[in-house]
Chains A and B, each alone.
Chain A
Amino acid sequence: MIHLATGGWGKLVMANAGLIIWASAFVFLYAIQAIGCAAGWNLGQLGGFNQLTVILMLVWIAHIVPLLVLVPQQFRTAKMGGADRQESFLHWLAFLMTLVGLVATLWVGFPLMMLPACL
């Protein structure tokens, strides 16, 4: 086993967490949209809205929430600095990347609010 945290790999993974979450959001939104359209999920209604659009919205929000939690956490960590410049660099890297991940996830999912799922 590789010890992620002690070996530093965990820090690298955490630094990329924001964009990994964005990538997950992107893949799931595209895949569920394609599968949902093929399976006819768009034909039903959920709470007065198109069923597939609601599902996609939930997927989108499920990715935004952890990002909204991570961004302030990582900002606080980055503001506190680190034991040395390397650690401080990694903390700022993690914060900025998570912020990028949040903006990218919001931006890419935004068309959900404007377009029908399967047209």
Chain B
Amino acid sequence: MSEERAPGLTPPIDALQRHRHFNRVFATWTGFGRFAAVNHSIVGKRFMVTAFFFFLVGGMLAMLIRAQLATSDSAFMSHEAYNQVFTMHGTVMMFLFAIPMIEGFALYMLPKILGARDLAYPRLSAFGYWCYLFGGTIILGGMVLGLAPDGGWFLYTPLSGREFTPGINADIWLLGITFVEISAVAAAVEIVVTIMKVRAAGMKLAKMPLMGWYILVTALMMIVGFPPLILASILLELERAFDLPFFEVARGGDPVLWQHLFWMFGHPEVYIIFLPAAGVVSTLIPVFAGRPLVGYTWIVVSIIATGFISFGLWVHHMFTVGIPHLAQAFFSAASMLVAVPTAVQFFAWIATLYQGRPRYDLPMLYLFGFLVIFVMGGLTGVMLALVPFNWQVHDTHFVVAHLHYVLFGGFLFPFFAACYYWYPQMTGRMPSRTLGTLAFWLIFIGFNLTFLIMHLTGLMGMPRRVYVYESGLGWDWPNLVSTVGGFIMTAGIALFVLDMALHRRLGAIAPQNPWGASTLEWAMPTPPQLYNFASLPRGDDRDPLWRDGKLGAKLAAGDGLLPLSSTGRQESITVDPLTGEPDHVIILPNPGYEPFFAASGMAVFFLAFLAGFYWLSPLGLLIALYFILRWAWTTGTRTDVTPITPRDGEKPLQIQAHARHGPGWWGTAFTLGADGTFFASLLFGYLYLWTIAPNWPPPALIAGGVMVPAVMALLIVIPALAARWSIRAMSRNDSPSPALVLAGLAGAAGAIGIFSGIWLLTPDPFAHAYGATTIVLAGYIAFHALVSAIMAGYALARRHYGYVAARRMAELRILSLWADYTAVTGLIGLAAIFILPGAIG
């Protein structure tokens, strides 16, 4: 064991002592204490295991579908059961498997490939996990009780409205999915801030592993893409629960608005699923080609371009709803365009294999499956982007075949490759090449048998979502072939599961870096310790392990940064997002129950809503709020802390509590980014109904004159000004308390005054979509004003207990950011409510 003297802190220690030291610092709890775990490795694995469970559930549902369709006029399932089964198959696979699996992978792997000890907000990811688990349980519970949603995974209105779906089936979908989406947005914020801030010292953006870019763009897409669906779900639930009309034509609503909001989320979702899978491909191919990936910059451009353009495709799901040809052409053009950046990545992968010395191994076999199947899915995607062809095959099995080629080829084959590739890293054991190879061929043959012929079934006119079909239409034999293929594929997946389960205990012990990889997740013992690195690596090389094969041993011996925890707490380094220069030391949280109880509070909220106990719902929110504030309370310090020297000769770094814009501020900023998308979607809905929906203009418009909106605007702006005043006062060592009191009072008055005032002035919100959307806009503004008031009160308490000082103003800066956002969106919202109706009339 080599010896290293930690910089001016302790006597020399060896690698084993260092390991024991960090094991104490990063210790997690056992028994019920497992509910308190927040470490990224634990939470990431929980996400992945839970998502895989849902994958198996979704797979079994798929087998039920295939069993039903194997023969014509099948009596295997009733149409009610079949509707629930295909709805749940899509819902489970998209919301409870694919996205959470990506989140879990990112949460587990990011700190390891970026050279950090944990994520920016470990408790937020734990909170996200519990939200996901509870939301998923609600949805699955509905199925067990025979109350599963049955309107398709996109839950189109008016079918999903109260009139045509009177039970709670649709409510289970709306509330369960919203709960899960909260988890997704939380994970996305976590991921973005981690990639921007919590990287290895010196890891410039130009040196970041490509997986970092893929996950970064994916998470940004989630921040922008998920809020429209959350909004749509809230609006439909308000319509179903309280009879506020948004999608009902007779009262000024429009069912096509649901389709817009759903697909604004739904199409980017495809790329949200594909990009991380492409990241796996871009990570694995260089390893097995034995050379760096060709065209790093081109690939980064392709990733970002895919992220942008994928938001311009959503209407291609709606080509048959009667949108003008020109608008369809815009979306058709963008749908074809998005194939180009994907093709660039394909050529880069092929060029890398061509220029390298490719070697065959199990993960490469699955990548071969990906390359073949995804190309085919991509090409049928370009066919579907063409409007006339799209009309012909709309809602047929051709579309089912296409989407499975894209999602299975684009996500599941890279997923299997990733499982085999990182299995030794996660478990310290090797999987079986024999079982893995056999599983591959069963899955590959079974998949193509199922879905290749399904293109033909669709071209012969078989529609989606029918539970029986007549004999003699030519659909019998292709359906039977698809079913046989489906069961072969299932056998392959069962073998894969067997391989993963058996070799966790029985597999050969894995060497340190069995594939000869170049990235930092292999520069640690396998399976990894909770602290990841005994000392933190530098990130000045894209392929650090190819430059220095002994890097792992050196880091274990303390040859990196922060080789001991001088504070006795979990430490990592934050960097400048662009240059990678270290700027602060981040103190990571110990285990705590707050995320679990906060998510439990949210579960109370959603379950009470589902059961129709609307009066009980706010109690759930209060429980969640209490635990979130409690968890926030444990951050920061009550005294200024001496800077920490990460290593002899290095510049001392302040802890993040002293940062002008610490991780808390950045997290709030990106959360507000998601919030802003939500608001923009709400405005879009409001304007869409004004301009497109039938039965407009409404019978009556809002009253109010000039004074009422002026006073409301003032109440919205005062907290923002007061928050800035509090920062200026604190900077001069004056008390910020008067400013905070003003911000709190104005925020509270604004919340109550704006909502009640607009409620009184608006024409009956139950009679027309105009009143309903106006009330929702008012509620949005009032909610943000209320949160400003709570944040001001919280900052006041933190100041009282000494957490806020001239050099520690995180609470004030976050309040200011929130209040600024509230002021801007509030003024826009008030203009939409009071000025726009008069202008459009």
B476 to chain A, nearest CB (A): 41
From B204, B332, B337, B691, give the contact of A86 (CB < 8 A): B204
Contact with B along A75-119 (1 / 0, CB 8 A): 000000000011001101100110010001001111110111111
Say if the beta carbon of A51 comes within 8 Å of chain B: no
Residue of A nearest to B305 (CB): A100
* In contact, A111 and B329 (Cβ under 8 angstroms): yes
A37: B residues at CB distance < 8 A: 324
Contact with B along A40-76 (1 / 0, CB 8 A): 0000000000000000000000000000000000000
A38 to chain B, nearest CB (A): 4
**4 further A-B pairs in the complex, CB-CB below 8 A; given A12-B578, A33-B326, A86-B205:** A7-B577, A19-B309, A107-B337, A110-B333
Contact with A along B342-374 (1 / 0, CB 8 A): 000000000000000000000000000000000
B207: A residues at CB distance < 8 A: 86
B691: A residues at CB distance < 8 A: 34-35, 38-39
With contacts A23-B311, A34-B692 taken as known, whether A119 is within 8 angstroms of B205 at the C-beta atoms is no
B327: A residues at CB distance < 8 A: 30, 33-34
Q: When A and B form their complex, what is the total count of cross-chain residue pairs whose Cβ atoms lie within 8 Å?
A: 101
With contacts A26-B334, A104-B337, A119-B326 taken as known, whether A19 is within 8 angstroms of B305 at the C-beta atoms is yes
- Contacting A at CB under 8 A, from B258-303, are 297-298, 300-301
- Contacting B at CB under 8 A, from A1-40, are 2, 7-9, 11-12, 16, 19, 22-23, 26, 29-30, 33-35, 37-39
Say if the beta carbon of B312 comes within 8 Å of chain A: yes
Q: Can you give 29 A-B contacts (C-beta < 8 A)?
A: A2-B661, A7-B577, A7-B578, A8-B579, A11-B578, A12-B578, A22-B308, A22-B309, A23-B311, A33-B327, A34-B327, A34-B692, A35-B691, A39-B691, A85-B206, A86-B207, A86-B579, A90-B205, A93-B301, A96-B297, A96-B298, A104-B337, A108-B312, A108-B337, A111-B330, A116-B325, A117-B324, A118-B324, A118-B326
A26: B residues at CB distance < 8 A: 312, 330, 334
Docked complex Cα distance between A109 and B286 (Å)? 38
- Contacting A at CB under 8 A, from B202-237, are 204-207
Residue in A16, A39, A100, A107 with the greatest tally of chain B CB atoms within 10 Å: A100
B309: A residues at CB distance < 8 A: 19, 22, 104
* In contact, B308 and A116 (Cβ under 8 angstroms): no
Docked complex Cα distance between A19 and B304 (Å)? 9
* In contact, B297 and A111 (Cβ under 8 angstroms): no
From A8, A93, A116, give the contact of B576 (CB < 8 A): A8
* In contact, B325 and A119 (Cβ under 8 angstroms): yes
Docked complex Cα distance between A21 and B54 (Å)? 40
* In contact, A112 and B326 (Cβ under 8 angstroms): yes
Residue in A12, A23, A111 with the greatest tally of chain B CB atoms within 10 Å: A111
Size of interface on B: residues with Cβ below 8 Å to A: 32
List the interface of chain B (C-beta within 8 A of A). 204-207, 297-298, 300-301, 304-305, 308-309, 311-312, 324-327, 329-330, 332-334, 337, 341, 576-579, 661, 691-692
Docked complex Cα distance between A19 and B691 (Å)? 28
Residue in A8, A90, A104 with the greatest tally of chain B CB atoms within 10 Å: A104
Docked complex Cα distance between A35 and B691 (Å)? 6
Residue in B308, B309, B577 with the greatest tally of chain A CB atoms within 10 Å: B308
* In contact, B206 and A86 (Cβ under 8 angstroms): yes
* In contact, A29 and B298 (Cβ under 8 angstroms): no
With contacts A35-B691, A119-B326 taken as known, whether A89 is within 8 angstroms of B297 at the C-beta atoms is yes
B341: A residues at CB distance < 8 A: 100
A110: B residues at CB distance < 8 A: 333
A22 to chain B, nearest CB (A): 7
* In contact, A23 and B298 (Cβ under 8 angstroms): no
* In contact, A108 and B333 (Cβ under 8 angstroms): yes
B324: A residues at CB distance < 8 A: 33, 37, 117-119
From B206, B308, B325, give the contact of A115 (CB < 8 A): B325
* In contact, B333 and A96 (Cβ under 8 angstroms): no
With contacts A19-B305, A97-B304, A104-B337 taken as known, whether A90 is within 8 angstroms of B326 at the C-beta atoms is no
B681 to chain A, nearest CB (A): 13
With contacts A93-B297, A100-B301, A117-B324 taken as known, whether A38 is within 8 angstroms of B692 at the C-beta atoms is yes
B325: A residues at CB distance < 8 A: 115-116, 119
A49 to chain B, nearest CB (A): 14
A111: B residues at CB distance < 8 A: 326, 329-330, 332-333
From A12, A86, A107, give the contact of B333 (CB < 8 A): A107
Across the A-B interface, the 4 shortest Cβ-Cβ residue pairs: A8-B578, A111-B329, A89-B206, A19-B308
Docked complex Cα distance between A29 and B334 (Å)? 13
B578: A residues at CB distance < 8 A: 7-9, 11-12, 86, 90
A100: B residues at CB distance < 8 A: 301, 305, 341
Docked complex Cα distance between A37 and B309 (Å)? 25
Docked complex Cα distance between A112 and B328 (Å)? 11
B661: A residues at CB distance < 8 A: 2
A56 to chain B, nearest CB (A): 8
Residue of B nearest to A20 (CB): B308
* In contact, A92 and B305 (Cβ under 8 angstroms): no
Residue of B nearest to A37 (CB): B324
Residue in B204, B205, B301, B334 with the greatest tally of chain A CB atoms within 10 Å: B301
* In contact, B312 and A23 (Cβ under 8 angstroms): yes
B670 to chain A, nearest CB (A): 13
B579: A residues at CB distance < 8 A: 8, 86
* In contact, B301 and A116 (Cβ under 8 angstroms): no
B382 to chain A, nearest CB (A): 14
* In contact, A92 and B297 (Cβ under 8 angstroms): yes
B723 to chain A, nearest CB (A): 14
B683 to chain A, nearest CB (A): 11
Residue of A nearest to B301 (CB): A96
Residue of B nearest to A16 (CB): B304
A1 to chain B, nearest CB (A): 10
